[in-house]
Amino acid sequence: MGRLNVGIVFGGRSEEHPVSVKSAQEVARHLDAGKYRAVWIGITQDGAWKLCDGPEAGWEDGRPVVLAPGRRLLVLDDGKYESVELDVVLPVLHGKFGEDGAVQGLLELSGVPYAGCDVQSSALCMDKSLAYLVVRSAGIATPNFWVFNKGEDVDPERFTYPVFVKPARSGSSFGVSKVSSGEELASAVEVAAQYDDKVLVEEAVVGSEVGCAVLGNGSALFVGEVDRIALSHGFFRIHQEDSPESGSENSTPVVPADIPAETRVRVQETGKAIYRALGCRGLARVDMFLKEDGTVALNEVNTLPGLTSYSRYPRMMAAAGVSLEEVVDRVVSLAVSGR
């Protein structure tokens, strides 16, 4: 059997466009060229699809392409159409239009297998309020939360502070504010509403943020080493740094997490339970809170986690002895086999 044509989609229209490009660059360094032929598809920030040689500088100048039924791309060049066959697609997109089910639905309409979570689980995990409701129904703790629509009056007297104000459907920590008093609430809601029409007000959980990298489908799940985010001050604002490759000014990921062995197992088992409850497949990073009493609660699930050199998911997998090359190989193989 020859090499598989893997369409690798990166870039995108969300705030996380630059992070997606960096993730794709890391995938390029760890794709098994003996098994896979990469077909690089970059999406510009204004939504144009480009066939290019890779996620390096100048990729936006690639040839325009469209996804067509029958597992193929149509390349538009000087008024002529060229067809490029695709065996499978690996989305390396973050945030809106990447991990919210939008591109997954497009791929399903085209009939091409794709790696990672499906339409339903992608959309569910992207909406923090809906993910909380599903996870609560599975008997897993979540923070208390309140949902408001853009423009709706929010009474600051109804909350006990501090609280976090978030866009319900946005990636990373864009639009997230920690609010210490009622006087700060209105401006925080306004900031969150810039990213989503649905705003979440969430109780502040006392404890540590821990993460769980999950790989696989159904009952056959592999979990990387747990990490813990050590904060010097403030709150964890992933992908908000000017130079994330050199570290964050207020946080350090500790991998493996410096927690007792039994707590580590509890975090991993809770992470797997959340992954299954939300219908995830392929891969996801489950972020949780480890409370002071040792209990674990959901924070959020990233269905297409960052794969950069400084991202949490590949670090947790590497600490468990699984390289990024192996991660990519496994998720692509799962997509092709349909298992």
Q: Residue 288: beta bridge partners?
A: 210, 298
Which CA distances in Å does 188 have to 20, 161, 163, 241, 268? 27, 13, 10, 20, 33
pTM score: 0.92
- The one catalytic residue among 132, 275, 310, 313: 310
In this prediction, residues 228-248 reach a mean pLDDT of 59
Crossing angle of helices 312-319 and 324-337, in 10° steps, is 100
> Do residues 209 and 228 touch, judged by C-beta distance below 8 A?
yes
Per-residue confidence (pLDDT) for residue 171, from 0 to 100: 73
Residue 238 pLDDT greater than 60, yes or no: no
Which CA distances in Å does 337 have to 100, 114, 332, 334? 23, 11, 9, 5
Pairing state between β 88-92 and 4-11? parallel
Dihedral angle computed from the Cα positions of residues 319, 323, 327 and 330, in that order, rounded to the nearest 10 degrees: -120
Domain 123-141+206-337 matches domain 145-203 at the CATH topology level: no
Rounded to a whole number, what is the distance in angstroms from the first to the last CA of the chain? 20
Per-residue confidence (pLDDT) for residue 286, from 0 to 100: 98
Q: Which tokens hold the place of 127?
A: 């909406």
* DSSP letter, residue 42: E
- The one catalytic residue among 96, 166, 239, 272: 239
- The one catalytic residue among 62, 211, 282, 306: 306
Task: Kindly report the length of the chain.
Answer: 339
Residue with tokens 């990729």, as numbered in its chain: 59
- The one catalytic residue among 71, 72, 166, 285: 285
Q: Residue 68: beta bridge partners?
A: 72
- The one catalytic residue among 72, 94, 198, 266: 94
* Domain boundaries, given as residue ranges, for the chain: 4-114, 123-141+206-337, 145-203
Q: Is 239 annotated in the active site? A: yes
Question: Taken in order 135, 140, 141, 144, is the CA torsion positive or negative?
Answer: positive
In this prediction, residues 29-35 reach a mean pLDDT of 95
For 51-83, write each residue's pLDDT tens digit: 999 999 999 999 999 999 989 999 988 778 899
Pairing state between β 207-217 and 63-68? unpaired
Of the listed ranges 1-10, 151-160, 240-249, the least confidently predicted one is 240-249
- The one catalytic residue among 157, 183, 245, 292: 245
Q: Fold for 145-203, please state it.
A: Dna Ligase; domain 1 (3.30.1490)
Pairing state between β 251-254 and 296-302? unpaired
Residue 162 pLDDT greater than 90, yes or no: yes
User: Is the bond preceding 143 in cis, omega lying within 30 degrees of 0?
Assistant: no
CATH of span 4-114: 3.40.50.20
For residue 50, report the phi and psi dihedrals to the nearest 5 degrees: -130, 130
Q: Is 132 annotated in the active site? A: no
Residue with tokens 């306004």, as numbered in its chain: 190
For residue 289, report the phi and psi dihedrals to the nearest 5 degrees: -105, 130
Contacts of 1 (CB under 8 A, 6+ apart): none
Q: What is d(CA 153, CA 178) in angstroms, rounded to the nearest whole number? A: 19
In the chain, the amino acid numbered 233 is: H
- The one catalytic residue among 6, 19, 210, 301: 19
More confident residue, 190 or 244: 190
For 240-285, write each residue's pLDDT tens digit: 445 565 555 556 889 999 999 999 999 999 999 999 999 999 999 9
Per-residue confidence (pLDDT) for residue 244, from 0 to 100: 60
Q: Which tokens hold the place of 26?
A: 């890391």
> Do residues 178 and 136 touch, judged by C-beta distance below 8 A?
no
Residue 123 pLDDT greater than 90, yes or no: yes
Domain 123-141+206-337 CATH superfamily: ATP-grasp fold, B domain (3.30.470.20)
Q: Is 30 annotated in the active site? A: no
Q: Is 22 annotated in the active site? A: yes
Q: Is 96 annotated in the active site? A: no
Dihedral angle computed from the Cα positions of residues 326, 331, 337 and 338, in that order, rounded to the nearest 10 degrees: 160
